[in-house]
Amino acid sequence: MPQSTHETRAAPVRVACIGECMLELSAAEGKPDLRRLGFGGDTLNTAVYLARIGIPVDYVSAMGDDPYSQRMIDAWGSEGIGTGLVQRAAGRLPGLYIIELDEQGERRFFYWRQQAPAREIFSNERTDELCTKLLNYDWLYLSGISLSLYGEAGRERLFDLLRQFRAKGGRVAFDSNYRARGWPSVEVARREIRDQMGLTDLVLSSIEDETGLNNVRNAEEACDFIHGLGPRLVVIKQGGEGCMVSVDGRKTHVPPVKAAQVVDATAAGDSFNAGFLAARLRGADTAEAARLGHRCAAIVIGHHGAIVPRDAFRSGLGEPAI
């Protein structure tokens, strides 16, 4: 029988980002007393930038049935993000946060989110169906903020999913993104985040998170500590100092990309994560992946809000991105 001359192409890697997106009120450019309505959330920010780089990605969350929820879902779809796993809850509203900036562009957040339906995706009547669907992805991406939403029962259901997912060959990426206000105590956060790291292949953390949670003194110690929990690939973001990448304990410092201007540091880490993961999914080595992450972050911090204009991001990144 003659052999086919058609080239066999591998199916694209499928990524699902899990978490919460909220309405965002940020300072209007040039008008500090006015607020611009947008949306953001750490894992959603990463999903947006993954999609803009060209990685197939779906978002996993729950929203209300109000017009603001619909506007957000429509906006995600316009970015190329899959929304088929976004649950809708009748009579509920999404969370909201306000960003306040200081003169250096550093930010403080104020939240209204306790009743947001995103908190219940691993503890409602649709959880089993959701988990079954998530087993079909190649990568799952979540954060410490994601973990803080779900409560003990929800986190245990999530951890059970991740065990099944990895047993089937799936990979997990996790940003510790520790925010004390979201947890009952630092002890609970420390325990749950460490348990999560034991179910993770790629950790994307920061020196601030690791010193606050694990009392490490520097990025090298942070990498060694996290490797001890199981992950083989660890990235410790260090802000203006770049990042430390460690593969099975072999560490490399990757310097930052200088930003043209610093306006707002919101989503710098989230966009870095998107660049790093996208590059790795396309076969780049870890140093090259970190450089793309730094390029993404340098663009994002030059604009207000978590999600920067699409044209500005793409033109800043250049084509092709990788």
The predicted-structure confidence for 216-230, as pLDDT tens digits, reads as follows 999 999 999 999 999
Residue 260's pLDDT is 85
Question: Using one digit for the tens of pLDDT, what is the confidence trace for 114-149?
Answer: 889 999 999 999 999 999 999 999 999 999 999 999
Domain residue limits, the chain: 15-313
Instruction: Report helix angle 207-214 to 219-227, nearest 10.
Output: 70
For tokens 């779906």, the residue is 58
Per CATH, the homologous superfamily of domain 15-313 is Ribokinase (3.40.1190.20)
Active site members: 270
Q: Is 1 a residue whose pLDDT tops 60?
A: no
Q: Are 176 and 209 in contact (CB under 8 A)?
A: yes
Spatial separation of the C-alpha atoms in residues 166 and 202, rounded to whole Å: 12
Contacts of residue 291, defined as CB under 8 A and 6 or more positions apart, other chains included, come to 254, 257
Residue 7 pLDDT > 50: no
Q: Is the separation of the CB atoms in 210 and 227 below 8 Å?
A: no
Q: Are 144 and 180 in contact (CB under 8 A)?
A: no
pLDDT at 36: 83
Token match 């060209």: residue?
54
Whether 263 and 106 have beta carbons less than 8 Å apart is answered as no
pLDDT digits (tens, 9 = 90+) for 17-37: 999 999 988 777 666 678 888
| CA angle, residues 111, 80, 288, in degrees to nearest 5 | 85
